[in-house]
Structure 1
């Protein structure tokens, strides 16, 4: 923690952390809102709007003793600067003094507001920002009563300018604060907005193709202090004071981003409460105040016309509507008489859903070995229990002295908020190390960009560990609690050392803090547990476990894969279910048949039960289809990839007769084993707290606890005007890992580094943020962001195969043929085809479920 210094605001002394921004300090400690427009706590100050002008000075001290000098009345003597200074560019230091309420300051603020309003339209009654607008609020508080400017001198500009399909610009309302351009270029790393023209004609333009090409574009509408930037789905949709904001959690990503669902009764939706917009909810531990565009605009599936509204069962080879009572009885009867039972759960199921599904499968005679997760691409949950990031880890506190390592992941596509937080930590001085088979966006910010051959990710991480051990860079004091070091040391001496890894290994070993993100790109399921262990070896050997801001994070697919692993589900179980299908299979909240050719055997299962929001390829093979509620219609919890359990709340009216999954499974189990069905999600979580290791403190009351956050961005006073909403739903609770117990023994282990011997082109399925998943594809607003099905070829392979960029090609692998568009991409290494998952209505290579499927030799042929 920074040392405390004494500063004086309007004559009152305050002890505050040294080096923090004066504007933030004044607000947090003195409850003094120094007005700002261009300043924002998450960006570097520029002092360009001049709204924050204050009188500034320094306490006078005796030069010899350093003692504070007092005047004749006993007050602290202060030497004031002759002119007003910008508060937003001032970091606090001992003895700083400011006056914020003098006549000189008041007149300066009046002048600035008057200048800003000279060409600003009087749109407040119809402006989307009205009611949460800093310009509106500060004009009422600090503006002049009259203006000397001639009305006829106003400059009129375009009022409905699309900056792409998601964001619209009203150029008349823009006050040129540059928050949007600075956020895009400095924080998001997307240089896609710029100023054009000069003087009073100065305006924002997009300079990218496609326009406003950023995964974080919606955040600019939040930080805009006026109504210049609006989102396409909320523009003229409702007034802020009509909305009820309900705390929720991002249903798509492993980061657990906190969001608010702004809801209102809607006539056009049948008079039910619906989501009008999605806004970030401040949680400095998780997503700060940012969300991705997928999170913001991907909610429209919740009220889509294609939603399933009633149970279906199969009659004469067709699915027809039935009642819940009949559906429950049919499913229960099948489960009670089944020779074998299994379940595959999607990553969007809550912990409560997963628990009741687990209990149902066990009641019907199944076991944990028949509890699968989807996508089944990653393993290593036991490694996380040992060396996951310690409690209290916060990327906001990382900078100099921190090393962030990315292994086998394209983080911006797989977990954009983690990417953004890692990138901003790098901006504060953290060192980034990227290990991957190809270049990704994070390579632009990495100090060490290390390549390896696809299929040898484990060997690459072992190479780092080898340099650490063989160079005696490991921490001797850490070895006292380590088991398996001798065997690992012997193995590492024989490990192939990748050239150029030495400096990265030294940086990791000498760092104060190290966090490793481990993905699964180019890695089979059977290899992934070993890759996780290899990453754990590096962390344990260098002593970077069991401490805040140190440890391992798995880049799990979906919102609650970590929770599924905690409750006994596994990808290995899914692989077994796909190879040896049970007599009765429950597929909950996922579409394996439509996504992966490896799931084709599920069509042969005797009886399939599916819970889903929409018709999918998996519901087409089902005998019973049960309509599930979306995340917005129910309450529950997700566990993030940082092991933070967080609550989300029911916000939207229920669509049709759909039910939450936990209730579907609980009522079915009641018919199977005569158990008493739980009456609420909270009651289910209460049972989980008594039964699941690490979840003892995860009751709903604890999860709802809040704290005051610094900087205070999401306050109800709308100081930053809709930048983010105050966290009233809870900041969540992390469960601890074994390494946090100083007495616990930690395991290092030699892991398999054998590479596939398959010859030919290597097909590497990759993840894109925007895909044709059953939920996201229903958000039509985002349709232009979803690319067509394609495969990426290296220039060398494309030339060898006589493939031109844009050709249609057939890729045959195992028993399937994929028809995609060819793209020639210089970031792809020779001998490799990267194949983005889930971009077609036909199943593809979604996950390396069958051993070797991700590295199977492929036949590539050009087509028309």
Structure 2
């Protein structure tokens, strides 16, 4: 932190770091300041001119994104003069803009739409014989569609590709009114973080092919979560909706800003992983590979853990901390061994030097905190002795089913896989985003997720299943 100085904004006195950008202070204080081109990661560009403010002693309005803070600075973000300047700039932006808000995917979360409604002018004073038309529905690659007519040339997308991914696929082509965003010849938008340009776009110029025309944003609900795709634990917003006569369904993940974890972005694979929540779900309990019901399956789980002495729990590294603790306590009560062995979640080809980790699990760090072994030697030793194996969302046996031969198997999974077919008893459980819990990322940062999904016939969580077992144990002879 540098030297702190005193400034005044709209009559309110506050402290700010000397030399820092005025717009950052305004945004940090939640003071409304219209802007298109500025972004806290991409920095200043100064091309949209929307962030004009009045500064005492200056003859004309200044752009907040390129104004360093000084001692005694007096700033006004409101007032007739400054608002007129912004309206004039906005009016020029709208000259060639198509009037297609009702069909635009960005409607409801579009900054141009918001600023237009704030401005209060609903009749155009500028009449042109013919608008400058640009191409529409351009597939840039990597699930990104471009509508050039909607673009305000903020250049956030081009700066993301040049400054963040350093892949340089996008650029501004031509000049003046005929300028547009495009890819370079033979260079489609193709990098692991490409879909972040959709979030960066303040208008409806860049849209996601995956989400395009799926939902209106005002119909959806949102809750904060983390991406379970790798050990980084990128912060995300989960957009979901429970339509009438339908089940609650996730429609998209969006990156949520957290400077300590993922900044403002996330990888495309993590973004699209919400599809896994809706596909290939394990929903009906099974007993000896035949359809059963919850009560009957719980009775048989109790029977097995009550009568078999050599029990081995194998846990997924993506379980929450609370689930791991509860399972560890249960294993201790049963004098059972426990392991987090899961080499199948390590993918060296996935890792990069930005946000993606080679460990494609959400909470492996907690194994070390709880003292749960995950080495191969201990795993093999305990598996060899075990008569009953309890597999909790661990996918290792999927390609090693022969290791379960001649053993009784209880499995708890949220998604279908071959381990279920090998199990004597199989119970469906809540998926990653249907439950609440705490997760520790690769850097040791603990993050809490509180799910707000409202599924019909919601699968039981691991914790609730353990509570059922505790009640049965209390009433039984174990």
TM-score, normalising length: structure 1 = 0.51
Q: Does residue 154 of the first structure (1) align with residue 131 of the second (2)? A: yes
1:805-861 deviation line (CA, Å, top 9, x unaligned): xxxxxxxxxxxxxxxxxxxxxxxxxxxxxxxxxxxxxxxxxxxxxxxxxxxxxxxxx
Q: Does residue 51 of the first structure (1) align with residue 50 of the second (2)? A: yes
Output the CA distance in 2 between the equivalents of 1:230 and 1:564: 40
Equivalent residues of 1:309, 1:655 under 8 A apart: no
Equivalent residues of 1:34, 1:100 under 8 A apart: yes
Match of 1:37 in 2: 36
| 2:287 counterpart (301, 313, 317) | 313
CA pair 211-266 structure 1, distance change in 2 beyond 3 A: farther
Match of 2:428 in 1: 627
1:65-104 deviation line (CA, Å, top 9, x unaligned): xxxxxxxxxxxxx4x3x44432211221224444444555
Aligned with 1:205: secondary structure? strand
Residues 669-708 of structure 1: pairs in structure 2 closer than 5 A: 669-672=470-473, 674=475
Q: Does residue 413 of the first structure (1) align with residue 350 of the second (2)? A: yes
Aligned with 2:141: secondary structure? coil
Output the CA distance in 1 between the equivalents of 2:101 and 2:212: 14
Equivalent residues of 1:414, 1:557 under 8 A apart: no
| 2:297 counterpart (322, 327, 338) | 327
Equivalent residues of 2:285, 2:427 under 8 A apart: yes
Q: Does residue 28 of the first structure (1) align with residue 28 of the second (2)? A: yes
Structure 2: runs of 5+ lacking an equivalent: none
Match of 1:569 in 2: 372
CA pair 377-159 structure 1, distance change in 2 beyond 3 A: closer
Residues 265-414 of structure 1: pairs in structure 2 closer than 5 A: 265-266=242-243, 270-304=245-279, 306-314=280-288, 319-367=289-337, 370-375=338-343, 413-414=350-351
1:283-313 deviation line (CA, Å, top 9, x unaligned): 3332233222222211112122x31111112
1:194-233 deviation line (CA, Å, top 9, x unaligned): 2233333322223487832122222222221111112223
Output the CA distance in 1 between the equivalents of 2:309 and 2:13: 75
Equivalent residues of 2:287, 2:426 under 8 A apart: yes
Q: Does residue 16 of the first structure (1) align with residue 4 of the second (2)? A: no
1:506-533 deviation line (CA, Å, top 9, x unaligned): xxxxxxxxxxxxx8xxxxxxxxxxxxxx
Aligned with 1:50: secondary structure? coil
Output the CA distance in 2 between the equivalents of 1:377 and 1:281: 25
Equivalent residues of 1:579, 1:601 under 8 A apart: no
Equivalent residues of 1:219, 1:290 under 8 A apart: yes
Output the CA distance in 1 between the equivalents of 2:355 and 2:247: 35
| 2:106 counterpart (120, 129, 146) | 129
| 2:151 counterpart (174, 177, 194) | 174
Match of 2:468 in 1: 667
Output the CA distance in 1 between the equivalents of 2:31 and 2:223: 28
Q: Does residue 585 of the first structure (1) align with residue 389 of the second (2)? A: yes
Equivalent residues of 1:373, 1:569 under 8 A apart: no
Output the CA distance in 2 between the equivalents of 1:351 and 1:588: 14
Q: Does residue 637 of the first structure (1) align with residue 438 of the second (2)? A: yes
Output the CA distance in 1 between the equivalents of 2:92 and 2:385: 72
Output the CA distance in 2 between the equivalents of 1:303 and 1:665: 25
Output the CA distance in 2 between the equivalents of 1:209 and 1:601: 48
TM-score, normalising length: structure 2 = 0.89
Q: Which has the higher contact order (CA 8 A, sep 6+)?
A: 1
Equivalent residues of 1:308, 1:658 under 8 A apart: no
Output the CA distance in 2 between the equivalents of 1:281 and 1:202: 31
Equivalent residues of 2:317, 2:340 under 8 A apart: no
Output the CA distance in 2 between the equivalents of 1:246 and 1:24: 26
Instruction: Give the CA deviation at 1:601.
Output: 4.8
Aligned with 2:150: secondary structure? coil
Aligned with 2:159: secondary structure? helix
CA pair 642-360 structure 1, distance change in 2 beyond 3 A: same
Match of 2:409 in 1: 608
Q: Does residue 558 of the first structure (1) align with residue 333 of the second (2)? A: no
Output the CA distance in 2 between the equivalents of 1:322 and 1:208: 58
Match of 1:163 in 2: 140
Matched length: 475
Match of 1:679 in 2: none
CA pair 579-664 structure 1, distance change in 2 beyond 3 A: closer
Equivalent residues of 2:23, 2:65 under 8 A apart: yes
